Amino acid sequence: MGSITFGKILLILNNNFYIILFFFLSNFSFGQAKTIQATRAIDKITIDGFAAEEQWKTADIATDFLEQNPTEGNEPRFKTEVKVLYDNSNLYILGYCYDSSPDSILAQLGERDDELNSDGFTFSIDTYNKMLDAFTFSVAASGVQSDSRLSDPSFNAVWQSAVQIVSDGWIVEMRIPYYAIRFPNGEKQVWRVQFERNLRRTRTGLQWSLVPKEVETELNYWGLLTGLDNIKAPLRLSLSPYTSSFVDVDNGETTVGYGAGADLKLGLNESFTLDMSLLPDFSQVRSDNIVKNLGAFEVEFEEQRPFFQEGVICLIVEIYFIPEELVEHPFKTIKTFLI
């Protein structure tokens, strides 16, 4: 279920300059990834946490979750089942988290995106199936939502969810509109997907497609979501106009002022987005939370201005340094590396 890349190191000597080139020869996966097929919904799906629609009964089931924490690979104490439906506008997720003691399910209330002392269910998708980026949507047993993006932790979308605690566990229903995510054009979609469950009272984390703890590229181990046929991305258009005014009275003199502007976001295609800002008023942006810093290092706040959030991953530059030992003793260093 993981992937491994083979390569070859080539050392070029030219006037005391040593260059190491790494050629990728192949990239393949070992083991068969888990697969769940989405079912097209014919009738309306009501997000209420009861999953009373008949269409849920015939949908494909993702089960056989495994424990990642605290003991990797263990069989979980309670069963978890997940089903996926879709229509022309939305993706629907049903998570049935069985529990023999529903009165012991932790369900702390809190603000959106908070880390709560609560049981939780998480749904993550890599819509481009390139193992580079992913959307994550989580719901606590108390109904509190949390969402993020691998390339943008401050990502927030508009989506719907509902939770019900029942006699044999708790149920979560989610509706993810297509305008909340991005995906390529194509008649048949294949997305990478991961389902996770958190049993807070036992500090247990479960995963549908188990990711080893020591790996960093966890998307390589995710399962596949198939069956998404003939869906089209909606028009991505967002317009946020604003007006402002002020009155200033000083020594009997009155000054009146006003302002206006707008932010426009238009999706040109699956790869390009037009972002425009006319006379922006950043005073209307959500303020940063107050942080008490008793340490020796400054506090870094997340970017809250929407204009600067789009495509921020493209501005991140990583700089790599060649070790001095490699320049002075290239053969010895490479020999040690290969061993």
Q: Where are the domains of the chain?
A: 32-229, 237-315
Mean per-residue pLDDT over the chain, rounded:
82
Read off the pLDDT of each residue in 22-36 and give the average, rounded to a whole number.
58
Is 175 in contact with 188 (CB distance < 8 Å)? no
Give the 3-state secondary structure of residue 157: coil
- Using 50, 70 and 90 to split pLDDT, how confident is the model at 217? confident
Read off the pLDDT of each residue in 280-309 and give the average, rounded to a whole number.
76
Q: In whole angstroms, what is the distance from residue 305 CA to residue 312 CA?
A: 11
Read off the pLDDT of each residue in 201-224 and give the average, rounded to a whole number.
94
Question: Residue 60's pLDDT is what?
Answer: 96
Question: Residue 120's pLDDT is what?
Answer: 97
DSSP string computed for 260-319: EEEEEEEE-SSS-EEEEEES--GGGSPPPPP----SSS---PPP--HHHHTTGGGG----
Which strands, in side-by-side order, build the sheet including 169-177? 39-40, 80-86, 90-98, 169-177, 160-166
Residue 216: DSSP 8-state: S
Residue 201 phi, psi (nearest 5): -70, -20
Give the 3-state secondary structure of residue 200: helix
Question: Residue 1's pLDDT is what?
Answer: 47
CATH number of 32-229: 2.60.40.1190
Read off the pLDDT of each residue in 174-181 and give the average, rounded to a whole number.
94
Question: Residue 311's pLDDT is what?
Answer: 60
Task: Using the predicted structure, report yes or no on whether residue 331 has a pLDDT greater than 70.
Answer: no
Residue 91: partners with Cβ closer than 8 Å, 6 or more residues away: 38, 84, 85, 175, 176, 177, 178
Read off the pLDDT of each residue in 185-204 and give the average, rounded to a whole number.
95
Q: For the ranges 35-49, 192-206, 302-316, which has the lowest average pLDDT?
A: 302-316
- Using 50, 70 and 90 to split pLDDT, how confident is the model at 334? very low
Task: Using the predicted structure, report yes or no on whether residue 201 has a pLDDT greater than 80.
Answer: yes
Residue % of the chain over a pLDDT of 90 = 54
- Using 50, 70 and 90 to split pLDDT, how confident is the model at 312? low
Task: Using the predicted structure, report yes or no on whether residue 3 has a pLDDT greater than 90.
Answer: no
Question: Residue 325's pLDDT is what?
Answer: 53
Task: Using the predicted structure, report yes or no on whether residue 117 has a pLDDT greater than 60.
Answer: yes
Cα Rg of the chain, angstroms:
25
128: left (phi over 0), alpha (psi -120 to 50) or beta: alpha
CA distances from 114 to 122, 146, 149, 289 (A): 14, 7, 15, 12
